[in-house]
Amino acid sequence: MDKSSALEYINQMFPTEASLSGVEPLMQKIQSEIRRVDASILAAVRQQSNSGTKAKEELAAATNAVQELMHKIHEIKTKAEQSETMVQEICRDIKKLDCAKRHITTTITALHRLTMLVSAVEQLQVMASKRQYKEAAAQLEAVNQLCSHFEAYRDVPKITELREKFKNIKKLLKSHVFSDFSSLGTGKEAEDPMLLQQLSDACFVVDALEPSVREELVKNFCSKELTSYRQIFEGAELAKLDKTERRYAWIKRRLRSNEDTWKIFPPSWHVDYLLCIQFCKITRSQLIDILNNLKEKPDVATLLLAFQRTLEFEEELAEKFSGGTVTTRNKESASDDEDEGGEHNKIVSDIRKKYEKKLAAPNDGVEQDKDKQKDLSVPGAGFNFHGIISSCFEPYMTVYIELEEKSLVDQLEKLVQEERWEIEEGSQTNILSSSMQVFLVIRKSLKRCSALTKNQTLFNLFQVFQRILKAYAAKLYARLPKGGTGIVAAATGTDGQIRTSDRDERMICYIVNTAEYCHQTSGELAENVAKMINPQFADKVDMSEVQDEFSAVITKALMTLVHGLETKFDAEMVAMTRVPWATLESVGDQSEYVNGISSILSSSIPVLGNLLSPTYFQYFLDKLAASLGPRFYLNIYKCKHISETGAQQMLLDTQAVKTILLDIPALGKQSTGAASYSKFVSREMSKAEALLKVILSPVDSVANTYRALLPEGTPLEFQRILDLKGLKKADQQAILEDFNKHAPAPAPAIKHPAVAPTVAPPVATASVQMAPSVVTPAVSITPSMAALTGALANREDVLARAAALGRGAATTGFKRFLALTEAAKDRKDGPFRKLFNA
């Protein structure tokens, strides 16, 4: 330890003078410990010295042992080399003898096989000459195996001679076999019962020969069997489309009559299958020639009959050669509805009866599509016969599509003519019956065509469906009420106005629901067609254009409904301008025109709410509010003069109209979107209220009130308000000059909210409820329009005097106005609040 630690240790041991008495005992203890440590060190040094000497002795002994081991290893290696040399000398002669033995064995084996080959070739030659096919087949296998052992000795003359002889024997066997098979089907098998057995044995020889021999034999056999078929059906009598069924009857009869005879062929040859493939190719080629050589369009019933029989024949072949398993077409047929279970088997007869009546004159020729007349590739596995013949009919099915379209058009016209445009009592849906009948007819047409083909013809028929549905949409569109046109309508001021009765309103609702049903069902129709049609056409199956047509019908129908109600309000708007607002003496109950508006809505809205879906009813309400609110606002300007009492009465009427509009959703028993609709109505009607409050304001503060309540107003509009207040031109001049000084910028026209542009309503679905859209439309009133408004007021002034209504209870009306004013003062925001705080 360091010096400071030593001092601390001493101070710790002897903290006081009294403790110094223990120094001596401590010193003795330390001396004793020193002596003990020295003794331990001395013992350790001695032990280490002894251990070092012993280690040197052990190291020397280990070194000697390693040297002795290396010497022994060297001796062992030397002896091993000597032993190896001795063994090689002993086995040198034995290796030569072993190699000689192996060569001798190979030679003996080759000579023995050569002897066997020579003998086998000679025996095979005898068998071939005697037509002993069964024995020759086995011998062929043996000779083929023996020849495989001499592949390495091709250059040996004897081997070359034997191989050439064997090749000639195979040629001889092939010629004999082909010669014997040429007699098959000539009647010799009946005279010689052993002929069939001989031919059966010959099949084994053919299997033993090259695969090309079997292919050539089967091809020659099929060509020979179908020679008579070519001759029969290429003749003028049977080379007709209506004789197609007899072609299939011929091959079926041939297969049945020769079933026992053709058992001589091994099953692995698939002779009947290859014969049917060749038959189908020939038939397809002949049918194409027949169709190409037609001078007129083919008869639809005959064409469909041939097509149907061809499909049935292909189905029979597919089932025959697929081991009896259920084919795809059978599965689809089994999945049809029970009520149409027999339709597949009666398609041709139904179509024949249907179209024979409609074919009155020959049709024009069909353009030939050469690209579609190529032979189909016949699959080698799976025995798939579908389309191998029937595909040749596809380019000529145009006449079928044309007559299907003609039939659909005729049925559409008939359904529309028979449509009552009413819904029967007790009906669960508010949909026109013609729409369901149209889709039923389309479904039947789709069933007929899909049973025949699912390729280009089905896609062409789908395009026909699109045109039919578009035509039906046009029929619905044309049924909507139209506005008045002509000289009479122009003279009476009703040009373009749509007048609708209660029956018309119901019919419009039925058209909306029907268009929605057609929109949804047409999409489902496209999905069904896309699932069943060939995949290469599935991406082209689309009904979006048709759905757009029905969406346009829905939009037009709803706007027609709005315009029809607008026309009903015409009389009430005229009555409003004819009220003598300048001479009213007191404020009473709501005016008669307000009662008229309420009566119109009360009679129409419940019916519309019951017939329309929530989405379309909300769209209708938005458009109605967007029309009636601005129209009421503009109608105030049509009045000639409004006194203070008249303005109070009109303000009361405005509140009543606003209440009526707010109650429409409840009147229609539909609350979806009522909150947004209420905000929209309140905003639109508040503009009319603000205008009337400006008219009610004193003359000295009318400019400030106008700027506060109608901040977007213009000097021209302000001047019109002064006219409504009854101020003279001289009195107006000073007020207008003061207004123009405070105006931010003059505007050439008065801008007021008006009816919004037509926007297509969302198509309602079963799971999605569209939120109603609130549109704030705008329109401009030019000075010429204002002048026109004044002219109309002057023209109707005489009628207004005659229709003036007496009012009483002036004090009561004034109290109501004060109550309205106090209610406006209680609001915490808005321009009217700013007026009272000024």
**Domain end point (choices 331, 366, 392):** 392
Low-confidence ranges of the chain (pLDDT < 70): 1-4, 185-193, 235-238, 323-384, 424-428, 483-496, 670-674, 742-838
Same domain, 408 and 514: yes
Q: Strand pairing of 779-781 and 750-752?
A: antiparallel
CA dist 837 to 423, 692, 827, 828, Å? 60, 20, 12, 11
pLDDT for residue 51: 79
Res 20: pLDDT:
81
Closest of 258, 142, 131, 262 to residue 201, by C-alpha: 131
Q: Which of 643, 667, 696 is the last residue of a domain?
A: 696
Same domain, 550 and 406: yes
pLDDT value for 529: 92
Assess if residue 736 is contained within a domain: no
289 lies in the same domain as 422: no
Beta partners for 495?
484
pLDDT at 734: 77
Within a domain: 57: no
- Give the per-residue pLDDT at 360: 39
pLDDT at 623: 87
Q: What is the pLDDT of residue 468?
A: 92
pLDDT at 339: 44
Structural domain boundaries, residue 640: 579-696
Q: Are 428 and 494 part of one and the same domain?
A: yes
Between CA 386 and CA 397 the distance in angstroms is: 18
Cα gap 708→716, rounded to integer Å: 17
DSSP 611-674: HS-HHHHHHHHHHHHHHHHHHHHHHHHTSS---HHHHHHHHHHHHHHHHHHHTHHHHTT--TTH
Burial of 314: CB neighbours in 10 Å, binned 0-12, 13-18, 19+ = buried
Whole-number pLDDT of residue 466: 92
- Write down the pLDDT at residue 136: 81
Is 492 part of a structural domain of the chain? yes
Domain count, the chain: 3
Token pair recorded at residue 307: 């097509």
Q: Are residues 676 and 536 in the same domain?
A: no
* Residues paired with 751 in a beta bridge: 780
221, 272: one domain: yes
**The domain spanning residue 468 has which CATH number?**
1.10.357.50
CB 793 within 8 A of CB 641: no
Domain identity same for 310 and 240: yes
Q: Are residues 415 and 479 in the same domain?
A: yes
pTM for the predicted model, two decimal places: 0.62
Per-residue pLDDT at 438: 92
CA–CA separation, 696 vs 694, rounded Å?
5
Residue 763 included in any domain:
no
Query: What local confidence, expressed as pLDDT, does residue 672 receive?
Result: 63
In a domain, 104, yes or no: no
Question: Looking at the domain assignment, is residue 62 inside a domain?
Answer: no
Q: Find all residues with CB under 8 Å of 310, minimum gap 6, and list them.
A: 244, 248, 389, 390, 393
Q: Same domain for 260 and 303?
A: yes
- Residue 414 and residue 266 share a domain: no
Does one domain contain both 491 and 594? no
Check: CB of residue 553 under 8 Å from CB of residue 779. no
CA distance 648 to 689: 10
- 8 A C-beta contact, residue 497 and residue 484: yes
Distance CA 744, CA 750 (A): 15
What is the three-class DSSP state of 462? helix
Strand partners, 780: 751
Structure-derived torsion over alpha carbons of residues 416, 420, 423, 425, reported in degrees to the nearest 10: -140
Is 804 in contact with 583 (CB distance < 8 Å)?
A: yes
- Residues 670 and 610: their CA atoms lie apart, in Å, by 9
Residues 496 and 510 reside in one and the same domain: yes
Q: What span, in angstroms and rounded, lies between the C-alpha atoms of 515 and 547?
A: 9
Residue 386 has phi, psi (to 5 degrees) of -65, 125
Residue 160 belongs to a domain: no
The CA distance from 624 to 667, in Å, is: 14
Q: Is residue 671 part of a domain?
A: yes
Which burial class, exposed, middle or buried, applies to 667 when counting CB atoms under 10 A from its CB (0-12, 13-18, 19+)?
Answer: middle
Distance CA 751, CA 778 (A): 7
DSSP 344-403: GGGHHHHHHHHHHTT--SPPPPPPP-GGGGSPPPPPSSS---TTTTGGGGGGGTHHHHHH
Q: Residue 188's pLDDT is what?
A: 64
- Collapsed DSSP state (helix, strand, coil) of residue 781: strand
Question: Which of 21-31 are b and which e, b meaning 16 or more Cβ less than 10 Å from the residue's Cβ?
Answer: eeeeeeeeeee
The SS3 call for residue 131 is coil
Domain termination residue (choose one: 668, 696, 724): 696
